[in-house]
Structure 1
Amino acid sequence: MEYGYIRVSSTDQNEDRQLIALHGKGIPDSRIYMDKQSGKDFNRPKYKRLMRRVKQGDLLYILSIDRLGRNYREIQEQWRLLTQEKGVDICVLDMPLLDTRQGKDLMGTFIADLVLQILSFVAQSERENIRKRQAEGIAAAKARGVKFGRPPVPLPGNFYEVHRAWRGKKMTLRQAAEACGMPEGTFYAKVVKFEKVD
C-alpha cells in the first residue's frame, strides 16, 4: 500500500505543493496524512495515525526530508523506525537518492544512509539559522524602537477611585474588577503595575 505524508509548519502555510507532488504519484487523499504544526518533534496526531497504519512492504512518499522534522536525531530515529522496525520503504521525492526501494545492496544502503545524515544535518542547521536570524531581527527592531505586541489599553477613568476603594477594603476584588469592566486578574495586574510606578 502506498501512503503520503504532508507537514506544514503552521495553519497559514499552503500545503498545495506537497499535495500536487503526492497526487502526481497516484496517492489518493484517503491515504495522505497531513499535520499543520511545527516539525520540531514527532508529537503529531496524523503522523501517529499514519505510523499505526503502515506495515511491512508499504511505501511512504514525502516531498522532502524536512517534512519528517527538523531535528537531526529525530529524523534519523524515525527513518530507522520506519525502514528497519516496520519494514516500510520511503521515497523522498525531491531527493531521488533517498528511495529505499533502490540500491538495497551494501553500497546503495551506505549511500542512502550518508545522504540521509547530510540532509538531516542541513535541515536542523537551517532551522537553527532561521531561529538565529529571527532573534537578530527582533533585537535590531527593538534597537530601532519598534514595539512588539498589542498596544497597552488605557486605564478606565474610574480606576484610581476604584483602586482606593479596594485598597481601603470598601469593595472586594471582584467588585473592583467589575466596576472597571475587566477580569479580576487583569485588574490585579494593573494594580501591581500602577503601585510599582506610584
Structure 2
Amino acid sequence: MALNLDTIRATAERVAASHHLDVVDLEFQGAGKARALRVFIEKNAEERAGLATKATAEGAEEDVTLPKGVPVETLSGVTHEDCSAFAQDFGTVLDVENLIPGAEYTLEVSSPGLERKLYRPEDYTRFTGCLVKVQTFAAINNNRHWQGRLTKFEGNVVTLDLTAIKQKGKAKKAVTAAEIEIPLANVEKAQLVAEF
C-alpha cells in the first residue's frame, strides 16, 4: 500500500475542523524507522478573529499569551493543548484507517511559527502589511531573493515595498524602484519575517 498524502491531508483537515483548527501544511519525510509526518496547524478564522477581538478590546486585561508588538494576525493562536488533542485524535484515525503503511513513524504537530511559509493566495491577502521573504523561480532584475513589506496582492501578483527593509547582497544591486511586483506563478518560496 502506497502513501497517499492527499488522503492524509483530507483526514487531517477533517480532524482539525472538529477542534476549530485549520491545517496549514503537512509533510512526510524520512525512511525506515526515521519516518516523520509533520502537521502544522492554526486556529480557524473564527477562533483567530476572537483572538484579535480579545487583543484589541478596550480595558481588557493584558494577555500574556500575545507577544508585545507582534501583529495578532500573524499568530496561529495554537496552544500546546491544541496540538496534543489534535495529535491524539489524528494519530488514532491514522492508525485505525492504516493511512501510513509500515510499522513505525513519528507524528509531529505544531504551529507554523512566526516565520511561517505562505502557500495559498489567501495567505498573501491575509498577511498584507507584514514583512516577507520571497524566492522566485526566474530572476527579476538579476535577483531571485527579495525581502520587503507585502503591500498588495491583486490579480495573482505580489507587490513588495523594498524600502521597508535594508536590502542585502544581489538584492541591493537589483533594486531600481521602491516596489517590486512578482507574479505568484514565479514564487518558488515565500515566508513571513518576524518583526518585534
* TM tier relative to shorter chain: under 0.3
- Structure scoring higher RCO (CA < 8 A, sep ≥ 6) equals 2
More strand by share: 2
TM-score when normalising by structure 2: 0.20
TM-score when normalising by structure 1: 0.20
More helix by share: 1
